[in-house]
Every structure is written in structure tokens, then in C-alpha cells.
Amino acid sequence: MALVPPFDFESATQKVRLAEDAWNSRDPQRVSQVYTQDTRWRNRAEFVNGRAEVVQFLTRKWAKELEYRLIKELWAWQNDVIAVRFAYEWHDDNGHWYRSYGNENWRFGADGLMIERFACINDVPIDESERLFHWPLGRRPDDHASLSALGL
């Protein structure tokens, strides 16, 4: 099945998981390929325009957010838009841990590439003992709990 609009529950859920997998790779080039050449983002207070800026943004992000592990969950979908909620855990270069919570709104073109991404994110300091995402770096295992199952 092609993952292009209009989305149904199954295709929207698959699109979210593919996005999660790509972001958990922490490979800016890989992640950038799912966006249009002229994609537009708002990420917190930063505005990103085009794939080249996506790569620059993600390179900076993952240089700061170490041991990054992300879980995304489908929130809503209709036609060419998908809304997700997510949480990710990371630490800074001083060893301080955070859990970042957020919501994203995505809009896709007919080819399935993402045209727009608008993200609102909050960082909560946590103790290392409060971490919930313990899989090896990379793709979240299929049997790992979802955000809902973790009570997040």
C-alpha cells in the first residue's frame, strides 16, 4: 500500500511509525528525504525552510540531544493531514536528562512527502532513574510500550 493521501487509520499509523523510525536513526539525510524540497517547519521558535535547512537543523539537534530515543503516536488524521503526539528522552553533554513532550501537525502532498511540519515541544528535566525509553539506540522495538501504555 502506498502511503499517500488521503490517509485512513492504517496508512496514517504506518506513516507515523515510519517517521518515528527515521528520527530514531538520528540520520539527518535519511530524515530529510520524507520532506518536500521546499518543506516548511516551525519547531519550537525556529523556522526551517527546505531540505537543506532540515539537515542543518537535525545535525545541530542531535549534536545537543544525546542518547535520543523517540516514541510517536497517532492523534488524528484527515485527508492529507496527520496530527501526532510524541515524547523523547535525551541528555545534554553535562549528563542532565530530559523528557521532551510535544505535538506535531503534518501536511502532505499527493506524492506522500511532507510539505509542512509544525511542532510544539516542552522539555522536562528528569533523573536518569526516571527514564522509560531503554532500548538500544535506533529503532524502537515493536514490543516496547507505546506512549499511552506508559501513561504519557
Domains of the chain: 9-130 (3.10.450.50)
**Separation of alpha carbons 48 and 122, rounded Å:** 18
The pLDDT value given to residue 62: 98
Q: What is the mean pLDDT of residues 132-140?
A: 97
106 burial class (0-12, 13-18, 19+ CB within 10 angstroms)? buried
Relative to beta strand 35-43, strand 114-126 is parallel
Which alpha helices (DSSP H) does 1-150 contain, by range? Answer: 9-25, 28-32, 51-64
Q: Answer whether residue 2 shows pLDDT above 80.
A: no
Pick from 17, 24, 23, 29: nearest CA to 135: 24
Q: Answer whether residue 5 shows pLDDT above 70.
A: yes
The pLDDT value given to residue 27: 98
Chain-wide mean pLDDT for the chain?
Answer: 97
For the stretch 64-111, pLDDT in tens is 999 999 999 999 999 999 999 999 999 999 999 999 999 999 999 999
